[in-house]
Amino acid sequence: MTGRDIAIKGRDGEFSAYLATPGSGRGPGIVVIQEIFGVNQVVRDIADGLAAQGFFALAPDLFWRLQPGVQITDKTDAEWQQAFGLMQRFNADTGIQDIQVTIDTLRAMPGVTGKVGAVGYCLGGFLAYLTATRTNSDATVGYYGLNIPQHLGEAAAIGRPLMLHIAEADDYVPPEAHAKIAAGLEHNPLVTLHRYPAMQHAFARVGGQHYDKANADLANGRTIAFFRQHLS
């Protein structure tokens, strides 16, 4: 298993991405969609972990139009302010274009067998939902995504499996938003919703303030099983 930065040619220019390759050199692909902190060590570790499970994992720099190469942490107020500033300026529509290009790039890589899916966290959890409605990802997973209720009008476009991990005590997603997500998606047989009572936003971010190992392990186990089922 090795990881390295590569360049991807997008519609509007070239951007970087972190690629983690399984030791066998063969396997399905997963696009890892970043949080608001860029393609930092947390994202790279997630990609490496997926590669250890037998997947090619590719994490694109979605902030490249704003500030290429962002790699900040959640440890200081200054970094949080920088991250929120980037999120506020971020254009989800062009971000989804970049995710589609990343999916296409991964599908064309030597050794990638079967299908290509995507997984995202926080901002990436929201983008994972849009990935399920707007791209040809074969299977998609979102963790504690923001702003999904405002885009439930796109739910009819979900044509491949989608799994969402919902933190029920999320400070950024109030209970009424969770109710809207459930009402809008739970009757779609392609959508699986997992709820985590008392869990805060980013409960699966290793080293984060609200990290909860038991629930993170549960969610991550479900994610791997989901991808093994739908990307083989």
CA–CA dist 226, 228 (Å, integer): 6
Measuring CA to CA, how many Å separate 59 from each of 14, 33, 208, 214? 14, 6, 20, 25
Average pLDDT of every residue of the chain: 97
Please name every residue paired with 7 in a beta bridge, in sequence order, or none if there are none: 16
Domain that holds residue 39: 2-231
Percent of the chain with pLDDT over 70: 99
* Calpha distance 26→55 (Å, rounded): 8
Q: Which residues make beta-bridge pairs with 38? A: 35, 71
Q: Determine the Cα–Cα distance for residues 124 and 141; give it in Å rounded to an integer.
A: 10
Active site residues: 170, 201
Q: Output the domain CATH number for residue 102.
A: 3.40.50.1820
pTM over 0.75: yes
pLDDT band at 2 (very low <50, low <70, confident <90, very high): low
Which pLDDT belongs to residue 114? 82
Domain count, the chain: 1
Residue 91 has pLDDT above 90, yes or no: yes
Q: Is the pLDDT of residue 1 over 60?
A: no
Q: How many angstroms separate the Cα of 40 from the Cα of each of 102, 205, 222?
A: 18, 12, 24
Question: Whose CA is closest to 163, among 190, 130, 183, 203?
Answer: 190
